[in-house]
Structure 1
């Protein structure tokens, strides 16, 4: 009888483990979403930039441009747009005036690319808003990482006021935001 129970338990364990590896996954929970590190990683990057800008005056708003793929500067992705949005949100939370370019009808925008602007056009928008700086950046893919470069640049003379580099894991989530297969 004990032997039969042991065999039944072993078969049950094997069956359960087969179910766990059949490729199906359970839906994410709110708790798992709250533990997600993408937002906090981008907020930390924004905090580093803000620390570098601490000695600069906070007069005049900042523009935000979508992060672009470093290998194709005219293209972005959901990841590039999301990182820009999250970093801009953190700047606003810390008291920086941020100009939302998506609300401009005259801004050069591609529906799938975000706020990618021609250099002369971004300079004109900066002038119209009396913007003191532009938050911009790029990302590049490696085998298992996405390297992100963020900069705060002064319009007109292109002087870099702050810069920060960091890496994101090229996991399933980030692959999805880049539009890459799982």
Structure 2
């Protein structure tokens, strides 16, 4: 037979454990807190820096943005890499550059779940077909506390780097969650 005081004690411990778990859980983000994320603003600053280095190339033909890839596996990307590429492309477009939307092209190397990965040997041909003046590409590498990102504007054919920018993202929950969704 269970003694009443043991049952009451076990119930109290169970309630306290439930409260402790609820208290330790982070609150759901709201639209307001999500809007405070620095991720988009950071990628826009990257694009603005590349544009400042590249100059007024808006009249020189369209640009192509390749998916930002994992530096340790250049044929792989993640949600992080794809979002950086999309946001940099959006900022170039906002600044008056013509951008070739590669998702609608069937003649570009596309790996399911990876995005618009462009192999070096294909850059010249894709740029020629699209009359692109340059390709924006990048890579990221992870460390314990940060994700290091390198972005470049490269002249196809000659492979000259026309502009470059390095930056660091914190390895926080937001960034780590985008890195773990590599092949979805």
TM-score normalised by length of structure 1:
0.85
Runs of 5+ in structure 2 lacking a partner?
1-15
Cα deviation, residue 25, structure 1: 2.8
Cα deviation, residue 122, structure 1: 2.3
Cα deviation, residue 55, structure 1: 5.1
Runs of 5+ in structure 1 lacking a partner?
1-13
Equivalent position of 2:150 in the other structure: 149
Equivalent position of 1:63 in the other structure: 64
Q: What is the CA RMSD across the aligned residues, in angstroms?
A: 1.9
| Secondary structure of 1:161's aligned partner | strand
Cα distance in 1 for partners of 2:102, 2:36 equals 30
**Which residues of 2 match residues 38-57 of structure 1 at below 5 A?**
38-54=39-55, 56=57
| Secondary structure of 2:59's aligned partner | coil
Equivalent position of 1:113 in the other structure: 114
| Secondary structure of 2:147's aligned partner | strand
Cα deviation, residue 118, structure 1: 2.4
Equivalent position of 2:100 in the other structure: 99
Match of 1:20 among 4, 20, 23: 23
| Secondary structure of 1:76's aligned partner | coil
Cα deviation, residue 107, structure 1: 1.2
Cα deviation, residue 39, structure 1: 0.2
2:58·2:98 contact (CA, 8 Å) conserved in 1?
no
Cα distance in 2 for partners of 1:55, 1:61 equals 12
2:123·2:157 contact (CA, 8 Å) conserved in 1?
no
2:58·2:97 contact (CA, 8 Å) conserved in 1?
no
Cα distance in 2 for partners of 1:55, 1:77 equals 31
Cα distance in 2 for partners of 1:55, 1:87 equals 16
Cα distance in 2 for partners of 1:64, 1:58 equals 17
| Secondary structure of 1:167's aligned partner | strand
How many residues matched?
165
Which runs of 4 or more aligned residues in structure 1 lie more than 4 Å from their structure 2 counterparts after TM superposition?
Answer: none
TM-score normalised by length of structure 2:
0.84
**Which residues of 2 match residues 1-40 of structure 1 at below 5 A?**
18=20, 19-21=22-24, 24-40=25-41
Equivalent position of 2:169 in the other structure: 168
**Which residues of 2 match residues 62-81 of structure 1 at below 5 A?**
62-81=63-82
